């Protein structure tokens, strides 16, 4: 028995601290030895189990350490070890519950299962720390699934969804995905607002149903495309009707009386439905031309001469006439706040030519009635009046009013049968010979010819450039440029370019060289601007046609529907007051500003 007790002691185990027994205790030990030996084996097994747990899980417990080696406390040791195992089992179950929840939401948790097998306590601690990251990731997954990808972008959404579910999450990745979702959401919202605005515009015109709704952008685009297709078919049917042709005849007749019908004729050719809406308003305004001109003539135009010139030209356009009538109160306030510029200035009242009226036979004593011949277009008429005014102003003579210019236009005789020879000679009307107006032409000099030729070719006006080289006459090109002004929707910079070029055309004076220099600035920047237009068209899946003005109109329509990031491109007509053609310093300053604005930079590589 002492040998057995010594062997236990060498292994580190004791029973009540005894190292040996005396002969007197032999009988007692013979009775308890089997039980003590059984406790010894249980204690050794418990000790080995604790060593495995402490090594695997890196545990340290002073209470357990104090009971190891004491055979009489074997039951206490077993209780402590069982308590530790139960605690770790609970942690494993908690980790498994958390992992199961995230797996149901689609996240891959294989890495966390491995960590639980290694150290449940540490794994549970880390899982709790990652709880907030997984909450953010789950919210971003829901936002990704709610994004409208009907017009493209499914691949990007799927890639980011797989990324969130498979990788180990951190704040940097979540922040990046959150920024992308926000950017995509804003872009979709902007696109929907533009489509909604276009739909509401169609509703106001009675073309669309105001109660119709759309789940995604694709169905919205399809509905608008169908609406445009139906409108186009309706325009074709309207354009073939006899009433529609009669309106064109009326427009041409009014143009012959001096009205500027370019805008209405363009609507007649391109937008039949919109034409009738504007036509009725325009005709209503033309019927009040006398009243409107009386109101305009009563204004104090000596305070803003440039505005007066613009108004005197715009009243010839029936569409502008309706707008001018509404702006008269604003004009009064504008003029009252400005100082006097030219006390001697007098507003020129323009009225359309009256229809020829046949007089009764007894009142007609002449064999010939002289009728004024109008210029070919209202733009030509206005330009001739301005040129004559400038020429006479340069010679120190009195300004020529518009009515004087009309008096100076050519007249042609119209024969009427003479049926009144028997009337008294005292009733014969004396007909004075008409004044013959010299045609105004502007010849371009050789030194500036190449500048204007390069500009016109860059603008796609090759026919006008060839004609300019052959005849040196700038007037046909002037009329062509003027007909391109005011198109909407189109980049406002194109309108500004046309208006500046019209003011920079040669005038046969000492400033032609400076005008050519400004034209050269525009020639230098136009290739970059054309490349910018092509890139933006391609970014919207619309190819470039190569025609400058057609590409500008197509880009304007595309930008009105889907604008790009950053500052929105203005698409309305240019209405800013530009300097007079003789003010070269201001014209050059406006040209430099235009050149600077036509050198755009891409917004982060996105067009």
Residues 29 and 79 in one domain: yes
Determine the Cα angle at 153 with ends 151 and 157, to 5°. Answer: 135
Q: What is the pLDDT of residue 17?
A: 66
Which of 284, 248, 285 shows the shortest CA–CA distance to 267? 248
The whole-angstrom separation of Cα 92 and Cα 99 is 10
Instruction: Flag whether pLDDT at 364 surpasses 70.
Output: no
The pLDDT tens digits for 367-393 are: 444 444 444 444 444 444 444 444 444
Residue 497 domain flag:
yes
Listed ranges 4-13, 425-434, 491-500, 545-554; the one with the highest mean pLDDT: 491-500
Residue matched to tokens 């236009």: 409
**Most distant pair of Cα atoms in the chain: their distance:** 183
The whole-angstrom separation of Cα 262 and Cα 573 is 15
Stretch 167-172: mean pLDDT:
79
Residues 479 and 569 in one domain: yes
Q: What is the pLDDT of residue 591?
A: 92
Residue 580 domain flag:
yes
How much is the pTM? 0.34
Instruction: Flag whether pLDDT at 238 surpasses 70.
Output: no
Q: What is the pLDDT of residue 429?
A: 40
The pLDDT tens digits for 274-286 are: 776 778 788 888 8
**Environment class of 282 (CB within 10 Å of its CB; exposed 0-12, middle 13-18, buried 19+):** buried
- Cis peptide bond prior to 489, omega within 30° of 0: yes
Q: What is the pLDDT of residue 497?
A: 92
Q: How many domains does the chain have?
A: 3
Per-residue CA distances from 103 to 106, 113, 170 (Å): 5, 11, 18
Which of 62, 51, 118 shows the shortest CA–CA distance to 88? 118
Residues 468 and 593 in one domain: yes
Q: What is the pLDDT of residue 387?
A: 46
Residues 394 and 534 in one domain: no
Residues 433 and 481 in one domain: no
The whole-angstrom separation of Cα 290 and Cα 118 is 97
What band does 66 get if pLDDT is binned at 50, 70 and 90?
Answer: low
CA dihedral 39, 44, 46, 47 (to 10 degrees): 140
The whole-angstrom separation of Cα 568 and Cα 598 is 14
Residue 8 domain flag:
yes
What band does 28 get if pLDDT is binned at 50, 70 and 90?
Answer: confident
3-state secondary structure of 412: strand
Compute the mean pLDDT over every residue in the chain, rounded to the nearest whole number: 75
Instruction: Name the β-bridge partners of 18.
Output: 15
Percent of the chain past pLDDT 90, that is, above it, reads 5
Residues 455 and 553 in one domain: yes
Residues 15 and 111 in one domain: yes
Residues 436 and 450 in one domain: no
Stretch 127-132: mean pLDDT:
78
Poorest-pLDDT segment among 241-250, 409-418, 461-470: 409-418
Instruction: Flag whether pLDDT at 402 surpasses 60.
Output: no
Residue 42 domain flag:
yes
Q: Which of 440, 465, 486 is the last residue of a domain?
A: 440
**Which helix (DSSP H) or strand (DSSP E) does residue 242 occupy?**
helix 242-256
Q: Which of 90, 105, 129 is the last residue of a domain?
A: 129
Instruction: Flag whether pLDDT at 363 surpasses 80.
Output: no
**In contact, 239 and 272? CB cutoff 8 Å:** yes
Residues 459 and 593 in one domain: yes
Residues 488 and 535 in one domain: yes
Residues 420 and 478 in one domain: no
Stretch 126-133: mean pLDDT:
79
Instruction: Flag whether pLDDT at 607 surpasses 60.
Output: no
Residue 134 domain flag:
no
Percent of the chain past pLDDT 70, that is, above it, reads 73
Residue 404 domain flag:
yes
Stretch 12-30: mean pLDDT:
73
**In contact, 301 and 335? CB cutoff 8 Å:** yes
Poorest-pLDDT segment among 457-466, 537-546, 581-590: 537-546
Helix H, strand E, coil C: the string for 103-168 is HHCCCCCHHHHHHHHHCHHHHHHHHHHCHHHHHHHHHHHHHHHHCCCCCCCHHHHHHHHHHHHHCC
Q: What is the DSSP code string of 69-104?
A: TBGGGHHHHHHHHHHHHHHHHHHHHHHHHHHHHHHH
The whole-angstrom separation of Cα 11 and Cα 241 is 117
Please, what sign has the CA dihedral across residues 391, 395, 398, 404? negative
Residues 386 and 410 in one domain: yes
Stretch 6-33: mean pLDDT:
73
Residue matched to tokens 């580190």: 12
Per-residue CA distances from 146 to 131, 154, 364 (Å): 23, 11, 84
Stretch 118-146: mean pLDDT:
80
Across 460-557, the runs of DSSP E, i.e. the strands, are none
Instruction: Flag whether pLDDT at 251 surpasses 50.
Output: yes
Q: Which of 129, 155, 180 is the last residue of a domain?
A: 129
User: In sequence order, which residues have a C-beta less than 8 Å from that of residue 535 and are 6 or more positions away?
Assistant: 602, 607
Residue 328 domain flag:
no
Residue 88 domain flag:
yes
Q: Which domain holds residue 3?
A: 1-129
């Amino acid at each position: 028995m002492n040998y057995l007790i010594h062997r236990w002691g060498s292994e580190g185990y004791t029973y009540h601290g005894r190292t040996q027994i005396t002969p007197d205790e032999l009988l007692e030990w013979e009775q308890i030895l089997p039980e003590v030996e059984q406790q010894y084996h249980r204690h050794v097994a418990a000790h080995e189990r604790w060593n495995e747990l402490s090594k695997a899980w890196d545990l340290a417990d002073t209470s357990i350490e104090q009971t190891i080696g004491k055979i009489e406390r074997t039951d206490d040791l077993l209780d402590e070890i069982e308590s530790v195992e139960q605690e770790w089992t609970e942690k494993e179950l908690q980790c498994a519950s958390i992992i199961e929840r995230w797996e149901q939401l689609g996240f891959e948790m294989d890495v966390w299962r491995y960590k639980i097998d290694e150290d449940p306590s540490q794994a549970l601690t880390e899982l709790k720390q990652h709880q907030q990251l997984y909450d953010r990731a789950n919210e971003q997954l829901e936002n990704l699934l709610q994004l409208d990808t009907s017009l493209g972008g499914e691949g990007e959404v799927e890639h980011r969804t797989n990324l969130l579910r498979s990788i180990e999450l951190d704040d940097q990745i979540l922040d990046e995905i959150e920024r992308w979702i926000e950017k995509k959401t804003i872009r979709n919202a902007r696109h929907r607002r533009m489509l909604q605005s276009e739909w509401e515009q169609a509703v106001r015109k009675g073309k669309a149903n105001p109660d119709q709704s759309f789940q995604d952008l694709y169905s919205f685009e399809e509905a608008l495309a169908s609406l445009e297709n139906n409108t186009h078919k309706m325009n074709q049917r309207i354009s073939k009707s006899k009433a529609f042709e009669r309106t064109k005849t009326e427009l041409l007749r009014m143009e012959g009386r001096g009205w500027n019908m370019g805008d209405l004729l363009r609507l007649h050719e391109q937008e039949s439905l919109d034409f009738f809406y504007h036509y009725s308003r325009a005709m209503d305004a033309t019927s009040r031309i006398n009243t409107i001109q009386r109101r305009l003539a009563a204004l104090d135009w000596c305070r803003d001469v440039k505005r007066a010139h613009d108004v005197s030209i715009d009243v010839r356009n029936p569409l502008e006439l309706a707008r001018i009538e509404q702006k008269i109160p604003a004009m009064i306030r504008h003029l009252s706040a400005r100082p006097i510029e030219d006390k001697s200035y007098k507003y020129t009242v323009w009225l359309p030519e009256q229809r020829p009226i046949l007089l009764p036979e007894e009142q007609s004593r002449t064999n010939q009635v002289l009728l004024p011949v109008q210029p070919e277009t209202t733009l030509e008429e206005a330009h001739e009046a301005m040129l004559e005014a400038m020429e006479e102003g340069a010679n120190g003579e009195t300004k020529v009013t518009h009515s004087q210019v009309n008096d100076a236009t050519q007249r042609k005789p119209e024969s009427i049968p003479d049926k009144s020879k028997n009337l008294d000679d005292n009733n014969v009307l004396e007909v004075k010979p008409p004044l013959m107006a010299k045609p105004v032409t502007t010849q371009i000099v050789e030194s500036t010819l190449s500048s204007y030729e390069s500009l016109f070719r860059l603008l796609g006006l090759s026919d006008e450039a060839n004609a300019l080289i052959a005849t040196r006459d700038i007037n046909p090109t002037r009329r062509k440029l003027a007909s391109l002004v005011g198109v909407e929707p189109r980049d406002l910079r194109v309108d500004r370019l046309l208006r500046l070029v019209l003011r920079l055309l040669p005038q046969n004076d000492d400033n032609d060289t400076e005008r050519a220099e400004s034209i050269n600035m525009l020639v230098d920047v136009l290739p970059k601007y054309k490349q910018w237009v092509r890139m933006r068209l391609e970014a919207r899946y619309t190819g470039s046609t190569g025609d400058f003005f057609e590409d500008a109109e197509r880009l304007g329509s595309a930008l009105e529907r889907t604008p790009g990031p950053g500052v929105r491109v203005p698409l309305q007509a240019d209405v800013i007051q530009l300097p007079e053609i003789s003010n070269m310093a201001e014209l050059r300053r406006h040209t430099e500003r235009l050149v600077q604005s036509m050198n755009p930079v891409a917004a982060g590589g996105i067009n």
